[in-house]
Amino acid sequence: MNILDKIIIDKKQEVILKKSIIPVSQLETSVFFERKTISLSQKLRESNSGIIAEHKRRSPSKSIINNNFTVEEVVKGYEDAGACGISVLTDGKYFGGSLDDLILARASVNIPLLRKEFIVDEYQILEAKAHGADLILLIAAVLTREEIKSLSEFAKNLGLEVLLEVHNQEELQKSIMPSLDMIGVNNRNLKTFEVSLDFSKELASQIPNEFVKVSESGISSVEAISELKPYGYKGFLIGENFMKTDNAGLAATEFINQL
């Protein structure tokens, strides 16, 4: 069993527990539930940099990346740097995140927020909306075509955008459907943690143009972005590269200025 399989087993248990404590009706009374969301796909189409900056404390492959910042410091720094959007990891066990991080981020900035999570249930999409997210992530590796369809349509009905993550041709082919806004290619193989920009390059031509193309993981230089832009990528998700520094916002500012 690989790390992704473990995460999904734990996540399904977690959702069952949460449902027993916080009913859907309570989520739907959140002050954020009627909030008009901000479109990340539109911001990426109009941007020259396309940076989606990530708040990430740790990961299964790297253990602790940075625990020294407050969420507010990080996300305000990213917004000031000119990021198009911010990805907020909300998984607790493996990434040290929480839904509180999402709420704090929403209270601090006015740019699109992605709930970065292992989504397996509509309940988690309601949580995302209730905690101020503008879009959700769906991971093709852990969902069937039918699940991708029902979860993405559910999100769209709530006014949330959908970023679908793939990292091979098979996942991409099973996933293409009108209820997605962005297709992200993860340059890190979630089963082996091997990282290569070739994943993004190889799949680029197979992603239809109506979807905004996003390259995720392993992007640590301006050169990498220059390399990917000719392949049609408009979005670049960067987390570790900023978070591992002493000042994530400053690192993002310097990076975006170089672009």
Active site (annotated) includes residue 56: yes
CB 65 within 8 A of CB 243: yes
Using alpha carbons only, what angle is made at residue 50 by residues 44 and 54, rounded to the nearest 5 degrees? 110
Q: Which helix (H) or strand (E) holds 230?
A: none
The one catalytic residue in 11, 56, 129, 213 is 56
pTM: 0.97
Active site (annotated) includes residue 217: yes
The one catalytic residue in 117, 127, 216, 240 is 216
Active site (annotated) includes residue 216: yes
* Interval 111-126 mean pLDDT: 98
Q: Residue 67 burial (CB < 10 Å; 0-12/13-18/19+)?
A: exposed
* C-alpha 147: how far from chain center: 18
- Asked whether residue 28 carries a pLDDT value surpassing 80, the answer given is yes
Helices first, then strands: H and E counts in the chain: 12, 10
Q: How confident is the model at residue 51 (pLDDT cuts 50, 70, 90)?
A: very high
CB 59 within 8 A of CB 239: no
CB 161 within 8 A of CB 212: no
Chain mean pLDDT for the chain: 96
- Output the six-digit token pair for 151: 């979860």
How high is the pLDDT of residue 61?
75
- Asked whether residue 184 carries a pLDDT value surpassing 80, the answer given is yes
**Of 8-17, 24-33, 62-71, 227-236, which range is least confident?**
62-71
Active site (annotated) includes residue 129: no
Neighbours of 210 (CB within 10 A): 10
Place of tokens 């069952």: 16
